[in-house]
């Protein structure tokens, strides 16, 4: 199993944001009334768009748009995109998975952010719009803004709704954003985690098989009794 990850770490002075990114979740910035995607999708259609073989409009409807080319957890080492952007007063930063961007186009995301009175209402409006558009996946959304009074990043708001139980390779619901010292998971930690998983005993299927056999026998006996 693997997951996508997009992490933003604001420096102590509130002057810059460091971003680490793997997969097709995204980081956006709203500045001057424009929505800008800061990250590149590590996906099949993302590679095709950057190579000029697909248009952005064609990518939105491509049947393989969910196929990702990088993920955390599938291998011991992962190539992580990292970069830093300078903060300006009034900036708004959005982190989200494709559960939002597959359901809501960028222009509608920008409109909903512009209409919201505060960040809490904004994240709920985005999740509601994604559910209204089909709600086909988990919809984690993180927003944070820059306070113009003291030039620091404030007012984080997080929500995660419409969780699904399917087996699609996707980012699960987010309940909180913990403080971290680094934005990149060390490869050694990933390897240790995989080794622990390999050592864990597998659940036995014997009780389930016995139950199925008993049910089949009971149904057969009942049918036999009715047909006598």
For residue 106 the two structure tokens come to: 């960028």
Q: Work out the percent of the chain whose per-residue pLDDT is above 90.
A: 42
In the chain, the DSSP E strands lie at 5-10, 16-22, 26-31, 34-37, 81-86, 92-96, 139-147, 152-161
pLDDT band at 60 (very low <50, low <70, confident <90, very high): confident
Quote the CA–CA distance of 225 and 28 in Å, as a whole number: 67
What pLDDT shows up at residue 17? 95
Q: Work out the percent of the chain whose per-residue pLDDT is above 70.
A: 65
pLDDT band at 127 (very low <50, low <70, confident <90, very high): very high
Stated as kind and residue range, the H or E segment containing 45 is: helix 44-50
Length, in residues, of the chain: 228
Classify domain 5-192 by CATH number: 3.60.40.10
What pLDDT shows up at residue 172? 31
- Average predicted confidence (pLDDT) for the chain: 75
- 190-205 b/e (C-beta count within 10 Å ≥ 16 → b): beeeeeeeeeeeeeee
What pLDDT shows up at residue 210? 63
| Mean pLDDT for the stretch of residues 89-98 | 93
| Mean pLDDT for the stretch of residues 43-49 | 85
The residue among 175 and 25 whose pLDDT is bigger is 25
| Mean pLDDT for the stretch of residues 131-150 | 83
Closest CA to 101 of 72, 125, 70, 133: 133
Quote the CA–CA distance of 60 and 41 in Å, as a whole number: 12
Structure-token match 């306070």, residue found: 147
Q: Is the pLDDT of residue 31 over 80?
A: yes
Cβ pair 140, 160 in contact under 8 A: yes
Residue 7: count other Cβ atoms within 10 Å of its Cβ.
21
Q: Is 133 exposed, middle or buried (0-12, 13-18, 19+ CB in 10 A)?
A: middle
What pLDDT shows up at residue 38? 97
The residue among 146 and 184 whose pLDDT is bigger is 146
């Amino acid at each position: 199993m693997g997951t996508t990850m997009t992490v933003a770490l604001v420096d102590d002075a509130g002057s810059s944001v460091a971003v680490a990114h793997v997969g097709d979740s995204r980081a956006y910035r709203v500045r001057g009334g424009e929505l800008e995607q800061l990250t590149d999708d590590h996906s099949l259609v993302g590679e095709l768009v950057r190579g000029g073989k697909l248009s952005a409009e064609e990518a939105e409807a491509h049947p393989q748009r969910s196929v990702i080319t990088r993920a955390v957890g599938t291998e011991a080492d992962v190539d992580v995109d990292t970069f830093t952007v300078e903060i300006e007063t009034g900036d708004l930063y959005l982190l989200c998975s494709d559960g939002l961007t597959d359901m809501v186009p960028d222009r509608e995301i920008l409109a909903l952010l512009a209409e919201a009175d505060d960040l809490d209402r904004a994240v709920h409006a985005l999740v509601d719009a994604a559910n209204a558009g089909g709600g086909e996946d988990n919809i984690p959304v993180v927003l944070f803004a820059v306070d113009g009074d003291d030039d620091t990043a404030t007012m984080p708001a997080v929500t995660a709704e419409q969780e699904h139980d399917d087996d699609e390779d996707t980012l699960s619901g987010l309940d909180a954003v913990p403080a971290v010292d680094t934005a990149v998971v060390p490869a050694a930690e990933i390897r240790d985690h995989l080794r622990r998983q390999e050592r864990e005993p597998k659940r036995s299927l014997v009780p389930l098989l016995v139950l199925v056999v008993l049910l089949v026998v009971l149904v057969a006996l009942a049918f036999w009794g009715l047909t006598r």
